Structure 1
Amino acid sequence: MENKTGLSLAEVELRKERGLQNNFTESATKSTGAIFYDNLVTLFNFLNLLIGICLFLVGAYSNMFYLLIIFVNITIGIYQEIHARNLVQKLSIVNKKQVRVIRDGIELALDSTELVMDDLVKLAAGEQVPSDMEVISGFAEVNEAMLTGESDLIGKQAGAALLSGSFLVSGEVFAQVIHVGKDNYAVKLTNEAKTHKPLNSELIRAIRQVSKFTSFVIIPFGILLFLEAFVLRSSGVKEAVVVSAAAVLGMLPKGLVLLISIALTTGVTKLAKKRILVQDMYAIETLAHVDTLCLDKTGTITEGNMRVYKLHSVDENYKEQLPAIIGSYLKNSTDSNVTMQALRDYFPETTNYSASDITPFSSERKWSKMNLETIGTVYLGAPERVLAGDNIPPVVFNAQKNGLRVLVIAVAETSETNILKRKAIAVIEIEDIIRNNAQETLAYLEQEGVALKVISGDNPVTVSNIAKRAGLPNYDKYIDLTTCQTDEDVKAAALQYTVFGRVAPHQKKLLVQALKQAGSTVAMTGDGVNDVLALRAADVSIAMADGDAATRQISNLVLLDSDFTTLPAVLFEGRRVVNNVTKVSGIFFIKTIYSFLLSVICLLSVQAFPFIPIQITLIDLAIEGYPSFFLSFESNKQKVTGKFLPTALKAALPNALLVVLNVLAVTVLASQLNLSQLEATTLMYYLLIGISCLAVIKACLPLNFLRLFLIITTIGGIYVAAMLFSHILEIGWLTATTLPLFVIGMLVNGVLYSIVTLLKKKKS
């Protein structure tokens, strides 16, 4: 390779035949067919479809309206999975850009996927390394921060390895490809992340638990109720199917899934206006439960930019000339790293002194120099590299203790390289810029019970001091993870420390896993390839828009302005969804509980289930859907407490028991007062509506104008609908006999419900 002719075309073809090409595309994600299958072929959907087919076969078409809700639920599920799958498939560390390859002595521009093993590649400053390589000749400084988290530049010369995904900051090299495809470092690092991340939603998980329980009950109950009606009560096939369907359909909280999706979609829209892109809407809900937040230092707490904090003149002989010396140095320097940019932003360039014998900055030397006329040789760089230990000014050590980066300007009268001949004339303190409102954001998150962890590839002392400046609690509890010998040591450290420095990518993942194993709900922010594994392991992953493309594609949320101080807005949206849905969920589970209890009673007493599907559907729309939809939009920033399912079931239980008691009471009264079947059914249904409306009133407390409007329109609307569509609902109007019974019944229900509510408040 010394003559730099590269591979011959024959050698290239031979390597392609052997599969030694840089075109690895394997994906571990689910196919579209598998996603459709998993969402369509479920016991829940099968039961609903089976009931729908039975209703269709007996001509009970009006009772099949519930299938629309099932269809919408399936559509949402499929969309979410395909959307998440597509984002994962786009995960790619190395951008597909043209690379310069030498073949048969000719320089060619090829796509990175065309590279083969042993190809000779020419790389220059600003280019990304497309495959793992070994430097053959030349010198370059490389930024591997996206891979390792280490922000310092690394010098690369002949024999050094170049990792795929890193960037050349300066210099030019010829390098030979040593790994292709799945053997590349970047691919190995992220291949573990290329797996489908399962849905993480307590709300949906709770509904699935209810559905799983009722699924085991529905089949035997449905069969027994049908046989009881058809055989023991000699009902017709249509009547037997309809009453059986009503009993089993009422046990499934179909409308709640739709309400959750609508509430989350509203949150997605609101956050988009705040420049927050939500790629998985269920992440909004999960973030409301987060109790541990892992933050990256660079690009998260800090802006990723530097600025001059203070200039110290340490030699009176050069004090007057110092601005001109610095300005002339910057004018003649070709260095363009972030530190030099900070200097140029602070000091104006001048032409007071001409320069010669310019040596650019090197991360290996950690200094640069040039000769300025009448001044001598001027050095700029790290104090310990520019000056002898005894010559370093005390101000340097004070600045370093405060977590500031320090540069010294030193002068030697001649180009003498003896470090003892140099003397400091100035010290420049440089700081990482803390994001605006970072202190307020960290303080708020801490106040809300969110434990904060800072994870970085940089020196832990530096990170700790930056955390101190940002107002992070327990900033002094830091550790250098290179001191951890085993994975168990890393996991133990996760629970003991707040600041983690010199963290390798796989260690970030171990920290997140350890926190989750300890029972925490973990959110992780990141912007580099080194964060990918940890982001994938976290319950909620948050990427900065100006970070690596891989982190943007894999994360649940993307902060489009790369500003983590917007996280409270996401937290508020999550709380709004969870608190509001929890508040109204009791209305939805009333039907689940009373349908189960009445089915048991009907089986034991050989009585028909008192309601039919279309009657339940009207309650779904008017009582469950209408007020809950509007209540879900209300602001609610309270901290989420308690578990969703137990809270919802406890809220629904009093109303459900009242429904059962009212049905039993009407059954007894009907026989004593000789009420017709139509009168009894009408009275039961009107009482069912009234008891369900009590739950709406409770959900609307304390009252405001909107909630009062919802109560009035819900109660008035459903009773008007019941009277207008009485024929379709198979009920009648209240009569002179049943109206007094309805009024007395609702008064008793109101008193009993108030007593139960007061007792529950006293217990809590």
Structure 2
Amino acid sequence: MVDGEVAVNESLLTGETDEIFKKPGDTLMSGSFVVSGECCARLEKVGADSYISQLTLEAKAMNRKEQSEMIRVLDKLVGVVGILIIPLGLLLFGQQFFVSKASFSSSIVSMVAAVIGMIPEGLYLLASVALAISVIRLSSQKVLVHDMKCIETLARVDVLCVDKTGTITENNMQVISTIPMEGYNPSTGSGLKTMISDLVVSMPDGNITMQALKRFFKTPSDKKADVVIPFSSTYKYCGAAFSGDAYVLGAPEFVLREDYEKFKVLIENYSSDGYRVLVFGRYSGVPDGKELTEAVTPLGLILLANPIRKDAPETFRYFAEQGVAIKVISGDNPVTVSQVALEAGIADAAKYIDMSTLHTEDDIREAATQYTVFGRVTPVQKRQLVHALQSAGHTVGMTGDGVNDVLALKDADCSVAMASGCDAAAQVSQLVLLESDFAAMPSVVMEGRRVVNNIERSASLFLVKNIFSFLMAVFSVCFRSTYPLEPSQVSLISMFTIGIPGFFLALQPNGDIIHGRFLSNVLIKALPAGLTDFLVVGALVVFGSVFGVNETDISTACTMLLAIVGFMILYHISKPLNPLRWCVWVGCIVGLLVCSIWLGDVFGIEHMSMECVMLFVLFAIVTEPTLRYGTILVEKIGGIITNRTK
């Protein structure tokens, strides 16, 4: 600025709606707008060089977090399988055609059956469909999803950073009372409320604090202000000069300055009750929008409060039950924020710290894990807090509504914006609460847990077939035996023990807390059944060869053995069984029997000889203890590995 004076709103940049008084020599930032006054300014930076563009470019330049754990595991699984099936398929074909001297067509059929068994067909589609349905469900609850994968990430969040205003409290403020102080003399004839009204009515509407003051102080005298200084977010006060008198109103620490210690106990008593405290006083000089230099005689305290959201205690109680720690990050007095957080039922809210006392990243890193409430937080410190929590091994979610939150939102593992905030925050966030209602968060978490837990179940079913097919193909190559299954038989097993039940399981409600890693959880469920399939089918092939049982009979018996193990693992994975899961389980068994009896020719199911039936019954009996003890062994090994990696 080179000339004039203006009041500027920089809320898009700072998240604060306080108006800032600008004079010649001050900088006008792109992204702000003039509320009142007029000026001449020299344009110094345009386009990509402007402040708002630089901020936006920095946010865009930051790489998106890598994909969620579940999607990342599925990508790797598909990639590894895609690499393995090519050489293994060629080896199997070569062994069948060149070594075993099978016909070209039968060698191709065996290779195709093995390859089909090793491909987790439908798994990636199933995960995508489950996530898409979650997006539709959340949209009906007024939650906009920018990135489907964030549904899973939020379900894994163990630390959630929230603001006080708009999250814990309503996005409005009200004056509770005024407290006269020693500087006020009632005998002067002017009431305290009238003097405050004179100052307040001369101010522009400003933020929610000024709006609350205007609603309460509505009885001014006939005095007209000669000088009006809107609220400064830098110096934390507003002021006005009348003929013979000047008054200021603002944060006690900034208005009283060196006299603050005299009233500190009184002010902090009110702050500890959850009130926001402002001090009103007579100023010995003329306020100019810069730091106060003259003496201030305190006339009274103004107590304001944000009503706590009715559903806030229930929401925070839910997160506490789910093991999610809440961190309250606010620009307000930490004592006030702590009291509000306590009233909202946030655990350990009595542990608070004034972030203006921390000056190094090491201090912030240490404070991040020790405290729950952080007051007087700057935009840079928000980002540092997110980094500190992540470096401590936490999965961090963050809510925000201002441009000052953008970089912290981008760095958080899961970012949630309020639709009532600025567009920039909504654009970079992964989730947007369209009604700015924090109470919708538990629904998002439940959706995430439903997807992750159910996809884990479905992925286990797919991996059972993949593990068996891989091991069986290797067995066939190494021992020069014929691959025992046909593609149609693999399709039959996949349809009734994987595809249909996997689809229904993926859409079932499931709010269980997520434990462990996705891949380890899936392997622990799938490995026992895959090994059981391989052991019993491999043994059946060997015994069938020894006793001279026809390969067609062996193929049918192997299909039925795989079906038995498949329904056993489906039964265990479906627990706890509800009426729908019972219907799916029984219906799949009936469907397989119907297809085997009346559509046997289509799926390669033939009548078995007596020798084959006896072998089938023997190995069918063996499947249950093999699966049971295999599950116990795998779970014990998995527990040992998990404990060692911690």
Query: TM-score range, shorter-chain basis?
Result: 0.7 to 0.9
CA 1:757–1:401 in 2, change beyond 3 Å: closer, same or farther? Answer: closer
CA 1:173–1:723 in 2, change beyond 3 Å: closer, same or farther? Answer: farther
Correspondence for 1:573: 447
Correspondence for 1:178: 44
Distance in 2 (alpha carbons) for counterparts of 1:393 and 1:493: 24
Give 5+ residue unaligned stretches, structure 2: 640-646
Correspondence for 1:266: 133
CA 1:709–1:369 in 2, change beyond 3 Å: closer, same or farther? Answer: same
How far did residue 710 of structure 1 move?
Answer: 1.1
Correspondence for 1:251: 118
Instruction: Name the SS of the counterpart of 1:177 in structure 2.
Output: coil
Instruction: Name the SS of the counterpart of 1:515 in structure 2.
Output: helix
Instruction: Name the SS of the counterpart of 2:416 in structure 1.
Output: strand
Distance in 2 (alpha carbons) for counterparts of 1:482 and 1:387: 16
How far did residue 659 of structure 1 move?
Answer: 1.8
CA contact (8 A) 1:150 1:502 kept: no
Q: Which amino acid aligns with 1:604?
A: C
How far did residue 446 of structure 1 move?
Answer: 3.0
Correspondence for 1:238: 105
Correspondence for 2:551: 677
- Is 1:342 the equivalent of 2:212? yes
Instruction: Name the SS of the counterpart of 1:299 in structure 2.
Output: coil
Distance in 2 (alpha carbons) for counterparts of 1:161 and 1:521: 38
How far did residue 281 of structure 1 move?
Answer: 1.4
Query: For each residue in 1:512-544, what CA deviation from the matched residue of structure 2 results, as whole angstroms up to 9, or x when unmatched?
Result: 223222221111111111111111111111111
Q: Match for 1:404 among 265, 272, 275? A: 275
Distance in 1 (alpha carbons) for counterparts of 2:594 and 2:131: 32
CA 1:320–1:741 in 2, change beyond 3 Å: closer, same or farther? Answer: farther
CA contact (8 A) 1:140 1:173 kept: yes
Q: Match for 2:164 among 292, 297, 306? A: 297
How far did residue 552 of structure 1 move?
Answer: 0.9
Higher relative contact order (CA 8 A, sep 6+): 2
CA 1:332–1:512 in 2, change beyond 3 Å: closer, same or farther? Answer: closer
Correspondence for 1:631: 505
Q: Match for 1:226 among 79, 93, 107? A: 93
Instruction: Name the SS of the counterpart of 2:511 in structure 1.
Output: coil
Identity of aligned residues (%): 39
CA contact (8 A) 2:361 2:384 kept: yes
TM-score by length of 2: 0.85
Query: For each residue in 1:154-203, what CA deviation from the matched residue of structure 2 results, as whole angstroms up to 9, or x when unmatched?
Result: 32111101122234344333322211222222222232321452542222
CA contact (8 A) 2:203 2:230 kept: no
Query: For each residue in 1:188-233, what CA deviation from the matched residue of structure 2 results, as whole angstroms up to 9, or x when unmatched?
Result: 2232321452542222222233334434432321221111112112
Correspondence for 2:642: none
Query: For each residue in 1:104-129, what CA deviation from the matched residue of structure 2 results, as whole angstroms up to 9, or x when unmatched?
Result: xxxxxxxxxxxxxxxxxxxxxxxxxx
Instruction: Name the SS of the counterpart of 2:596 in structure 1.
Output: helix
CA contact (8 A) 2:281 2:296 kept: no
Give 5+ residue unaligned stretches, structure 1: 1-134
Distance in 2 (alpha carbons) for counterparts of 1:656 and 1:179: 65
CA 1:627–1:420 in 2, change beyond 3 Å: closer, same or farther? Answer: closer
CA 1:704–1:327 in 2, change beyond 3 Å: closer, same or farther? Answer: same
Correspondence for 2:369: 495
Q: Which amino acid aligns with 2:228?
A: P
- Is 1:194 the equivalent of 2:60? yes
CA contact (8 A) 2:204 2:230 kept: no
Q: Which amino acid aligns with 1:340?
A: M
- Is 1:609 the equivalent of 2:483? yes
Q: How many residue pairs are counted as aligned between the two chains?
A: 623
Distance in 2 (alpha carbons) for counterparts of 1:278 and 1:178: 38
Correspondence for 1:287: 154
How far did residue 696 of structure 1 move?
Answer: 1.3
Q: Match for 1:706 among 550, 561, 580? A: 580
Tell me whether 243-252 or 276-285 shows the greater mean CA deviation. 243-252
Query: For each residue in 1:568-611, what CA deviation from the matched residue of structure 2 results, as whole angstroms up to 9, or x when unmatched?
Result: 22111112222222234321111111112111110111112222
Distance in 2 (alpha carbons) for counterparts of 1:733 and 1:277: 56
Q: Which amino acid aligns with 2:59?
A: A
Q: How does 1:742-757 map to 2 (within 5 A)?
A: 742-754=616-628, 756=630
Distance in 2 (alpha carbons) for counterparts of 1:544 and 1:632: 30
Q: Which amino acid aligns with 2:106?
A: E
Distance in 2 (alpha carbons) for counterparts of 1:563 and 1:469: 18
CA contact (8 A) 2:540 2:619 kept: no
CA contact (8 A) 1:271 1:277 kept: yes
CA contact (8 A) 1:587 1:624 kept: yes
Distance in 1 (alpha carbons) for counterparts of 2:144 and 2:342: 30
CA contact (8 A) 2:180 2:192 kept: no
CA contact (8 A) 1:153 1:363 kept: yes
Distance in 2 (alpha carbons) for counterparts of 1:756 and 1:227: 33
Distance in 2 (alpha carbons) for counterparts of 1:675 and 1:661: 18
CA contact (8 A) 1:288 1:572 kept: yes
Instruction: Name the SS of the counterpart of 2:483 in structure 1.
Output: coil
Distance in 2 (alpha carbons) for counterparts of 1:189 and 1:279: 21
Q: CA RMSD in A?
A: 3.8
Q: Match for 2:425 among 526, 540, 551? A: 551
Correspondence for 1:728: 602
- Is 1:136 the equivalent of 2:2? yes
